[in-house]
Amino acid sequence: DAGVIQSPRHEVTEMGQEVTLRCKPISGHNSLFWYRQTMMRGLELLIYFNNNVPIDDSGMPEDRFSAKMPNASFSTLKIQPSEPRDSAVYFCASSLGGQNEQYFGPGTRLTVT
Protein backbone atom coordinates (compact mmCIF):
# COMPACT_ATOMS: atom_id res chain seq x y z
CA ASP A 1 0.00 0.00 0.00
CA ALA A 2 1.18 3.50 -0.77
CA GLY A 3 1.76 5.67 2.25
CA VAL A 4 1.04 9.35 2.56
CA ILE A 5 2.38 11.20 -0.48
CA GLN A 6 3.63 14.76 -0.34
CA SER A 7 4.94 17.08 -3.00
CA PRO A 8 7.22 18.77 -3.57
CA ARG A 9 9.87 17.20 -1.34
CA HIS A 10 11.94 20.37 -1.39
CA GLU A 11 10.92 23.94 -2.13
CA VAL A 12 13.15 26.98 -2.21
CA THR A 13 11.43 30.29 -2.80
CA GLU A 14 11.96 33.97 -2.27
CA MET A 15 10.23 36.00 0.36
CA GLY A 16 6.85 37.24 -0.82
CA GLN A 17 6.17 34.35 -3.18
CA GLU A 18 3.23 32.01 -2.89
CA VAL A 19 3.98 28.44 -1.84
CA THR A 20 1.62 25.49 -2.24
CA LEU A 21 2.28 22.16 -0.57
CA ARG A 22 0.32 19.08 -1.56
CA CYS A 23 -0.71 15.90 0.21
CA LYS A 24 -2.43 12.66 -0.72
CA PRO A 25 -3.50 10.69 2.37
CA ILE A 26 -3.52 6.92 2.67
CA SER A 27 -6.51 5.54 0.79
CA GLY A 28 -9.43 5.00 3.15
CA HIS A 29 -8.13 7.33 5.84
CA ASN A 30 -10.60 10.08 6.61
CA SER A 31 -8.56 12.30 8.93
CA LEU A 32 -5.72 14.46 7.63
CA PHE A 33 -3.27 16.57 9.58
CA TRP A 34 -0.75 19.25 8.59
CA TYR A 35 2.26 19.73 10.87
CA ARG A 36 5.27 22.01 10.85
CA GLN A 37 8.59 20.98 12.40
CA THR A 38 11.44 23.26 13.40
CA MET A 39 14.36 22.77 15.75
CA MET A 40 13.10 25.48 18.07
CA ARG A 41 9.44 24.55 18.32
CA GLY A 42 9.40 20.87 17.49
CA LEU A 43 6.43 19.32 15.73
CA GLU A 44 3.37 21.58 15.75
CA LEU A 45 -0.11 20.79 14.49
CA LEU A 46 -1.32 23.44 12.07
CA ILE A 47 -4.73 22.15 11.03
CA TYR A 48 -6.66 18.94 10.79
CA PHE A 49 -9.54 17.73 8.66
CA ASN A 50 -12.07 15.03 9.29
CA ASN A 51 -14.08 13.80 6.31
CA ASN A 52 -12.69 16.72 4.28
CA VAL A 53 -14.00 19.29 6.78
CA PRO A 54 -11.55 21.50 8.72
CA ILE A 55 -12.12 20.69 12.38
CA ASP A 56 -9.42 22.68 14.12
CA ASP A 57 -7.22 25.34 12.55
CA SER A 58 -6.10 26.93 15.80
CA GLY A 59 -2.50 26.05 15.01
CA MET A 60 -2.39 28.01 11.77
CA PRO A 61 0.07 30.79 12.61
CA GLU A 62 -1.62 33.64 10.75
CA ASP A 63 -3.79 34.58 7.83
CA ARG A 64 -0.96 34.00 5.38
CA PHE A 65 -1.57 30.28 5.86
CA SER A 66 -4.56 28.50 4.39
CA ALA A 67 -5.46 24.87 3.83
CA LYS A 68 -8.06 23.08 1.76
CA MET A 69 -9.25 19.54 1.29
CA PRO A 70 -11.48 19.45 -1.80
CA ASN A 71 -11.85 15.67 -1.70
CA ALA A 72 -10.85 12.63 0.32
CA SER A 73 -7.62 12.08 -1.58
CA PHE A 74 -6.09 15.54 -1.79
CA SER A 75 -5.18 18.47 0.43
CA THR A 76 -3.16 21.63 -0.01
CA LEU A 77 -1.43 23.98 2.40
CA LYS A 78 -0.77 27.42 0.97
CA ILE A 79 1.42 30.22 2.27
CA GLN A 80 0.93 33.63 0.69
CA PRO A 81 3.07 35.66 0.99
CA SER A 82 5.90 33.51 2.30
CA GLU A 83 8.45 34.82 4.81
CA PRO A 84 11.88 33.50 5.89
CA ARG A 85 10.45 32.45 9.28
CA ASP A 86 8.20 30.00 7.46
CA SER A 87 11.25 27.90 6.64
CA ALA A 88 10.63 24.48 8.16
CA VAL A 89 9.70 20.92 7.29
CA TYR A 90 5.98 20.53 6.67
CA PHE A 91 4.48 17.11 7.24
CA CYS A 92 1.13 15.73 6.28
CA ALA A 93 -0.29 12.78 8.24
CA SER A 94 -3.45 10.74 7.96
CA SER A 95 -5.40 8.37 10.14
CA LEU A 96 -8.46 6.17 10.00
CA GLY A 97 -11.50 7.62 11.72
CA GLY A 98 -11.99 6.17 15.17
CA GLN A 99 -8.32 5.29 15.49
CA ASN A 100 -5.68 7.66 16.68
CA GLU A 101 -2.59 6.23 14.98
CA GLN A 102 -1.32 8.82 12.55
CA TYR A 103 0.94 7.98 9.62
CA PHE A 104 3.25 10.64 8.28
CA GLY A 105 4.31 11.50 4.77
CA PRO A 106 7.94 12.18 3.85
CA GLY A 107 7.58 15.92 4.37
CA THR A 108 8.31 19.03 2.35
CA ARG A 109 11.41 20.97 3.30
CA LEU A 110 10.61 24.64 2.68
CA THR A 111 13.31 27.28 2.52
CA VAL A 112 12.27 30.90 2.11
CA THR A 113 15.14 33.27 1.31
Partner 1 sequence: QKEVEQNSGPLSVPEGAIASLNCTYSDRGSQSFFWYRQYSGKSPELIMFIYSNGDKEDGRFTAQLNKASQYVSLLIRDSQPSDSATYLCAVEGGSNYKLTFGKGTLLTVNP
Half-sphere exposure of 7 (CA within 13 A, CB side): 3
**Minimum CB distance to partner 1, residue 4 (Å):** 8
Give yes or no for residue 57 binding partner 1 (CB under 8 A).
no
Residue 62 DSSP one-character state = S
Give yes or no for residue 102 binding partner 1 (CB under 8 A).
yes
CA dist., res. 85 & res. 64, Å (int): 12
Give yes or no for residue 55 binding partner 1 (CB under 8 A).
yes
Give yes or no for residue 49 binding partner 1 (CB under 8 A).
no
Give yes or no for residue 71 binding partner 1 (CB under 8 A).
no
Q: Which of 7, 43, 61, 80 binds partner 1 (CB under 8 A)?
A: 43
Which lies closer to partner 1 via its Cβ, residue 57 or residue 81?
A: 57
